[in-house]
Amino acid sequence: MKRKNNIFYDKTLSKRHKSAKRFKFYAIFSLVLSISFLVFFLCDMFVKGLPALKQTYIKVDITYTSKCMKSYRACIDKKLRKVISRSEIRSIPLKIENNPKLLNTTVSKWLLANHQVDQYIKGHYYKLKSKDKRIVDTLNKENRVELNFNRVFLTKGDSKIPEFAGIKSAIIGTIFTLLVTMLVAFPIGVMTAIYLEEFAPNNKFTQLIEVNINNLASIPSILFGLLGLAIFINLFGFPRSSALVGGLTLSLMTLPIIIVTSRAALRSVPDSIRQAGYGIGLTKVQVVLDHVLPLAFPGILTGSIIGLANAIGETAPLIIVGMIAFIPDSPTNIFEAATVMPAQIFTWAGMPERSYIEKTALGIMTLLTILISLNSIAIYLRKKFETKW
Amino acid sequence: MKFKKKSTLIFTEKNAIIKLQESSIKYILIAASVISILTTFGILFSILFEAIEFFKLKSFYYFFTGTQWSPGIENSKFGALPIFWGTLMITFIALIVAIPIGVFSAIYISEYATSRIRGFIKPLLEILAGIPTVVYGFFAAITVAPFIVKICSYIGLEASFNSALSCGIVMGIMIIPIISSLSDDVISSVPSSQRKGALALGLTSVEATKFVVLPAALPGIIAACLLGLSKAIGETMIVVMAAGLRPNMSINILEDMTTVTVRIVDALVGDQAFNSPATLSAFALGLALFVITLILNIVSLYFIRKFKEKYKVNTL
Amino acid sequence: MKKIKINVNNLNLWYGNNKALNDISLDIYKNKITALIGPSGCGKSTFLRTLNRMNDLINIVKIKGKVLVDEQNIYDKYVDEVSVRKRIGMVFQQPNPFPKSIYENIAYAPLKHKIVKKGKKCDELVEKSLVSAGLFDEVKDKLKDPGTSLSGGQQQRLCIARTIAVSPDVILMDEPTSALDPISTEKIESLMLELKKNYTIVIVTHNMQQASRVADYTAFFHLGNLIEYGLTSDIFVNPKKKKTEDYITGRFG
C-alpha cells in the first residue's frame, strides 16, 4: 500500500501504526463493553419482567349458599380450592354481603389462579403436587385456564399472597414521600443558590458553605439514613416509616444537586441584565427576584427534575428509617407508614417465592420508565427554554 | 422650605422600609444556606454521639484490629476487621472492572469519537449512571450470581451464591459512568496545543495521546478513580441484596463476604433494643465509613485542583 | 545556486464552504529563510500548515493542488502524513513543552522514530539539539527538571531543540516570537540565522521588521491570495504590486 521508494517511507511506521490500531481497539472495545452492559441488563429486565404482565385465571363455578358466609371454602368445589388464589376465596363472604341477591345462585367466573399454578402455566419453575397438576391440566383441556392481563399489579398494594401483590401502595408512598422532599429541598436549595450566587461576599463563611455542599454530595447515602434515624425519629419523634421522615431524609440528599444546578442557572444569566436593573434604581433584591430569577427559572426547574429523579431511586437511607415494612394499604397522609417503589422492589427481591422475581422485574421496568420519562422531560425543557445570550 | 423637608422625609422613611425588607430577605436566604452546614454537622454528630455510646460498651482498639464479629446476646465480640476486609475486596474487584473500562472509554470518547458518536454515547452513559442501585442489586442477585456459580461449577470450582466476585463485578459496572465521565471532561480539557506539538514531531495520534495527553490528564483521572472508589465503598443496595452477612476474611473471591454497609443495615432493621451494642455497632461502622469517604473526597479534590492550576481550566 | 526544497503548485484550500487559499504557487528555497507576511486572516498560517499536513487534523478541510517536497507530492495517497511531519517540523506561537523533563521532551520522538537507542547515543543527541538551539549552557545541570519550569523564551528554544532532534529537513515556525519579550525574540532570531545553514526555514510573522531582519525571501498574502513573492530586499524596497506597498507602508494592516 505504501510505495517503498517514496522518500517519506519510514520503516518504523508500520509497527507504530499497528500499535496505534491496537490501542484504539482497546479504547473502542471498552466503550462497546460499557454500552453492552446497559443493553444486556435492560434486555434481562425486560425478559424477566414481561411474564408478569399476564396472570393466569381459571373459570370456576361458585355456588353462593348461606353456608359460605361462615365457611367460605364451601362455595367452591374442593378440588379447585387448591388451585385458586386464596385472595379470591377470602373475598367471597364480602361479595355476598354486598350483593345478597347472589345467595343460592351459581355463577361462573374467572378467578385468579394461585402463584404456583401461574408459574406452571407460564413455563417456569413451579412446586405443585402431581395431584394438583393433573387438575390444572384437565381444566386446561376444558379451556377453563387462561393467561390474561394482570389487573392486580397497578391496582393493589403489596400482599403476602404472591399472585395478589401489586405496586400501587408503593407508588402512592413514593408520591407522598417525594412531595415532602421537593417541598423542603426546592425552596431551601434555590434560596441557598441565590444567596451564594448573588449576595454572598467572598469570606470564610461562604467558603464554609461551599465546602459543605461539596461534601454533602459525596457522603454515602446510607449515612443520611443514620441521620434520619438519630435525629428525625429519635430526637424529633416523627413517626417511623412515614413519608414525612423519608421525605425529609431524601430532601437533605437532594439539596446539593438543586443548589449546584440552580447556581449554574443563575450564573448563566448575563450580568448586563443585573446592570440594567441597577441602572434604573432597583434594589438588589428586586433585581434578583424580579429579573434574574425568572430568567434562570428553566435551568432551576431542569435541575430540580434531575434531583427528583435521583431521589426516586434512593433506597438505602429509606431502609434505615424503616420504610420497608410490609405495607398492603396505600397511605392516606404523610404521617402514616408507607413504602416507596425501590424499597418495594427490594422487599420483593428478597421473597422466597419464585413468582416474585417477575414482579420485581416488572416493578423495575416501571421505575425505569418513570425515571427515563422524568429525564426526558428535563432534557426537553432544557432545550426548549435554552436562550442563547 | 417646608415642602422640601417633607419630601426628603418621605424619601428617608421609604428608604428605611425598603432597607428593612432587603435585609430581612437577605437573612432568610442566609438561614437557608446554613441548613447545608447544619446537615453535615447533624450527620457527623448524630453518628459520633451514638458511636461514642458504642465505644463506651465495647473496646475501641478491638473494633479496629479484632477479627471476630459475633453480636450475640452473651459474650459478644465486635472486631470489625473482617468487615472492613470484605468492603476492601469487593471494592477492589469493582475498581479492576471499572478503571480500565472507564478510562479507555473516556479516551475513546474524547480523542477518537466524532461529535455524532459522542452525542449518541454520552446520553447512554448517563442512563447507565441514573439506574437506581437497587436495580443493580437485583441484577447481581438474580442474574450475575447464579451465572458465576454455574460457570465455576463447569470448571470445577465452588462459588457461593453470595460471592464477592458477583458483587464486585456489578458494582464495577455501576461506577464505570462516574469514572468515564469525569475522565472524559479532564482529557478534553488538556489544551490541544499539547497534542499538536506532539503530532508536529511526527508522532502518531496514539503516541501523542499516550505520551502527552494522558500524563497531562493524570491528576484528573486519579481524582475520577478516587471518586469511583468512594462511591463503591459507600454503596449499600448491591451488597445488601447480593453479598452475604457473614464476616469472612478470606482472599477467595468466590466465597461470601460482608461489607460495612451490609452490617449497618442489618444492625438497624432487626428487633434489637436501640441501645444494645449490636444496634449501636451500626453507628461505629457508620463513623468509620464517614471518615474514610471524607478523606477520599478531600484527596480527590486536591488532585482536581492540581490539574486545574496546571492548565487554568475552569470548566470542571 | 538556489535549490528548490518545496514547490507548491496551484494550492487551493477550503474550510467547509469557505475558500481560504486561492491557487497559491511558490517555491521555497533550500537553506534559506522564507517569511510569510500579511494582515490577520489572510491565510498565511493556514498555508504554513499545509506544508506539513497539519490541516488534515481538521475534518472540514478540503485541499486541491500539489505540495512537492524534493519533488515528491506530500499529499500523494502513498505518503504517510506521520512521516511527513518527521521531515517537516513545526514550532508554534505559544511555547508548548510537554509536561515531562527537559531530557524527555527532546528524547521521546527520536527514540520512537528509532533514530537513536536509549543510552549514550541518546544523551549525545539531546546535548547536540540543545546546543543547536542555544539552550544547553542554561539547562545542562537541570535536564531532569520539568520543561515547564523554564521561562517563556527558554521554553520556545526547548521546542525548537526537540524539533531539531528528529533531524527534519524543513522547520516551519508559526509566529514563534510573538508571545515572547524582546530579548528572547532577539535570541531566537539569531538562532534562526544559525539554523538556516542546516535547515530550510519558513516563518509566519506579522512583524514586518522581523521579516526584514531574518528572511531571505518574503511572500505577501492577502485574503487567501499570494500577492507577491521575492527577495526580501525587493519586497520591502521595491514592491511591484500596489497592495504590497500599501501593506508595507502601513496603509492597512
C-beta atoms of B283 and A212 within 8 A:
no
To the nearest whole number, what is the mean pLDDT of chain C? 90
Q: Which fold has domain A168-385?
A: MetI-like fold (1.10.3720)
Name the CA radius of gyration of chain B, rounded: 27
pTM: 0.85
Nearest to A30 among B40, B101, B265 (CB): B101
Q: What are phi and psi of B31, to 5 degrees?
A: -60, -45
Asked if C85 lies within 8 A of B193 by C-beta distance, the reply is: no
Report the pLDDT value the prediction gives residue A383, as an integer from 0 to 100.
81
Closest-CA distance, B33 to chain A, in angstroms, reads 4
d(CA B83, CA B282): 12
Which strands sit side by side in the sheet containing C88-91, from one edge to the other? C88-91, C170-174, C200-204, C33-37, C217-222, C225-231
Q: Across chain B, what does the average pLDDT equal? A: 86
Q: Exposed, middle or buried, A325 (CB in 10 Å: 0-12/13-18/19+)?
A: middle
Are A310 and A257 a contacting pair, CB within 8 Å?
yes
Query: In terms of DSSP bridges, do strands C170-174 and C200-204 run parallel, antiparallel, or are they unpaired?
Result: parallel
List the one residue out of A307, A292, A371 whose CA is nearest residue A45.
Answer: A371
DSSP secondary structure letters along A19-73 = HHHHHHHHHHHHHHHHHHHHHHHHHHHHHHHGGGGEEEEEEEEEEE-HHHHH-GG
pLDDT at A68 over 80: no
Task: Place B5 in a pLDDT band, splitting at 50, 70 and 90.
Answer: low
Q: Does B230 touch chain A (CB under 8 A)?
A: yes
List the grid coordinates of A302.
Answer: 431542569
Q: Which of residues 150-209 of B touch C (CB under 8 A)?
A: 191, 193-194, 196-204, 207
CA pair distance A332, A323, nearest whole angstrom = 15
Interface membership of C86 toward A (CB under 8 Å): yes
Q: What is the pLDDT of residues A135-175, one digit of tens each?
A: 888 888 888 787 888 888 888 888 888 888 888 889 999 99
Closest C-chain CA to A11: C113
Q: Determine, for residues C74 and A10 on separate chains, whether the beta-carbon distance falls below 8 Å.
A: no
Residue found under cell 405495607: A327
Residues A177-182 have a mean pLDDT of 93
CA distance B156 to chain C (A): 47
pLDDT given at position A350: 85
Confidence of residue C226 (pLDDT cuts 50, 70, 90): very high
Neighbours of chain B (3+ CB pairs under 8 A): A, C
Beta-bridge mates of residue C67: C8
Query: Per-residue confidence at A262, pLDDT binned at 50, 70, 90?
Result: very high
Is some CB atom of chain B closer than 8 A to the CB atom of A35?
yes
Query: Does the pLDDT of residue A109 top 60, yes or no?
Result: yes
Contact status of A370 with chain B (Cβ, < 8 Å): no
Is C24 in a helix, a strand, or coil?
Answer: strand
Residue A6 has pLDDT above 70, yes or no: no
Alpha helices in chain A (DSSP H): 13-49, 66-70, 78-81, 86-90, 92-98, 115-122, 130-141, 152-155, 168-194, 204-218, 221-227, 243-268, 271-279, 284-286, 293-312, 316-320, 341-349, 355-384
Residue pLDDT, tens place only, A346-389: 988 888 888 888 889 999 999 999 999 998 888 888 888 776 65
Q: Determine the Cα–Cα distance for residues C249 and B236; give it in Å rounded to an integer.
A: 75
**DSSP H helix total and E strand total for chain C:** 10, 10
Q: Rounded mean pLDDT of chain A? A: 85
Angle at B61 between CA B57 and CA B65, to 5 degrees: 120
C72-116 pLDDT, tens digit each: 899 988 888 888 999 999 999 999 999 889 999 999 989 988 888
pLDDT tens, residue by residue, C14-72: 998 999 999 999 999 999 999 999 988 888 999 999 999 998 888 889 999 999 998 88
Residue of B11, B14, B43, B211 to mutate, interface with A, max A Cβ within 10 Å? B43
Whether A1 has a pLDDT exceeding 50, the answer reads no
Structural domain boundaries in chain A:
55-148, 168-385
Task: Return all residues near A351 (Cβ < 8 A) that are at least 6 apart.
Answer: A162
Q: Which position has the higher pLDDT, B271 or A38?
A: A38
- Which comes out higher in pLDDT, residue C18 or A329? C18
C66 — phi, psi (to 5°)?
-125, 145
How confident is the model over C145-157, as a mean pLDDT? 90
Render pLDDT for B107-150 as a digit per residue (tens, 0 to 9): 999 888 888 888 888 888 888 888 999 999 999 998 999 999 99
User: CA geometry: angle at B231 spanning B167 and A212, to 5°?
Assistant: 160
